[in-house]
């Protein structure tokens, strides 16, 4: 008997939920969209995207939002329009509530390096390997890469370095190596604080530090982990005792040794 009562009670709850959902669905079907709320989750950290830009884009693309039933608004289409037309939009989530408000939650891409070409053009490399144009709204203080760099930014910013390496050309290989080095520096707290510029010279790298007047001859990206390990040992155990301005050059290109040139 108790078993029957429990199942009847459960059935009643399910029926109540179905009726409630039906009523909510019907209500949303009749409520027109009056407000579009743009929430940029990391706006305090970076300002590449302004909410008004998102609104202007949606109006320009004639996405059916304002004045349309919220239940009929294609949230997936809204998300795709924003992601495909705003290079700095990494994650986009669109949804509507029962009050007639439509919400767009957005997270921006995070640059780790700024590429400066010989002809003066410039763009960012993102944390996940995207090539990103400069923004008129915000300039990110990141690692600067200059010198013999020739890869221009193709498309509107939805191009990744992984997609470029499959296309033959020395400029694609070099941008891949730059990304490898920049990504390593970005994830290491000491190197991120200390290295402010990478200079490319005939397919080899020189690093320019923020502290000290020395130049670091890094060579190619071959044996990258070991070279950076040697550099960190020098910083922790060498320069901290001998001073940061005693040497003019630090050469990491030789295996199992570091050659320092006094100024």
User: What span, in angstroms and rounded, lies between the C-alpha atoms of 243 and 201?
Assistant: 28
Residue 26 has pLDDT above 70, yes or no: no
Angstrom distances, CA of residue 163 to CA of 56, 129, 130, 172, 182: 30, 10, 10, 9, 18
Domains of the chain: 31-108 (3.10.20.310), 111-262 (3.40.50.11690)
Sheet harboring 89-96: ordered strands across? 35-40, 101-108, 89-96
Residues 45-62 have pLDDT tens digits of: 889 999 999 999 999 998
pTM for the predicted model, two decimal places: 0.81
Nearest Cα to 218, choosing from 206, 203, 226?
A: 206
- For residue 183, report the phi and psi dihedrals to the nearest 5 degrees: -65, -40
Residues 217-253 have pLDDT tens digits of: 999 999 999 999 999 988 887 766 666 677 788 899 9
């Amino acid at each position: 008997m108790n078993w029957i009562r429990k199942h009847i009670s459960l059935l009643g709850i399910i029926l109540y939920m179905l009726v409630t959902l039906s009523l909510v669905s019907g209500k949303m079907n009749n409520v027109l969209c009056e407000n579009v709320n743009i929430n940029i989750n990391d706006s305090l950290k970076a300002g590449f995207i302004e909410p008004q830009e998102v609104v202007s884009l949606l109006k320009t693309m004639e996405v059916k939002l304002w004045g349309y039933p919220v239940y009929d608004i294609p949230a997936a289409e809204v998300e795709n329009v924003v992601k495909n037309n705003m290079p700095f939009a990494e994650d986009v989530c669109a949804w509507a509530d029962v009050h007639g408000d439509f919400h767009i939650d957005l997270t921006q891409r995070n640059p780790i390096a700024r590429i400066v070409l010989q002809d003066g053009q410039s763009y960012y490399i993102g944390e996940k390997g995207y090539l990103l144009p400069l923004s008129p709204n915000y300039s990110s203080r990141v690692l600067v890469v200059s010198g013999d760099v020739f890869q221009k930014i193709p498309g509107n910013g939805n191009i990744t370095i992984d997609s470029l390496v499959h296309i033959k050309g020395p400029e694609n290989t070099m941008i891949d190596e730059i990304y490898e080095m920049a990504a390593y520096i970005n994830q290491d707290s000491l190197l991120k604080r200390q290295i402010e510029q990478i200079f490319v010279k005939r397919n080899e790298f020189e690093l320019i530090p923020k502290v000290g007047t020395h130049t670091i001859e890094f060579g190619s990206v071959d044996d990258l982990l070991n070279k950076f390990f040697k550099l960190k040992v020098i910083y922790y155990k060498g320069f901290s005792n001998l001073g940061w301005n005693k040497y003019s050059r630090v050469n990491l290109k030789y295996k199992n040794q570091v050659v320092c040139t006094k100024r």
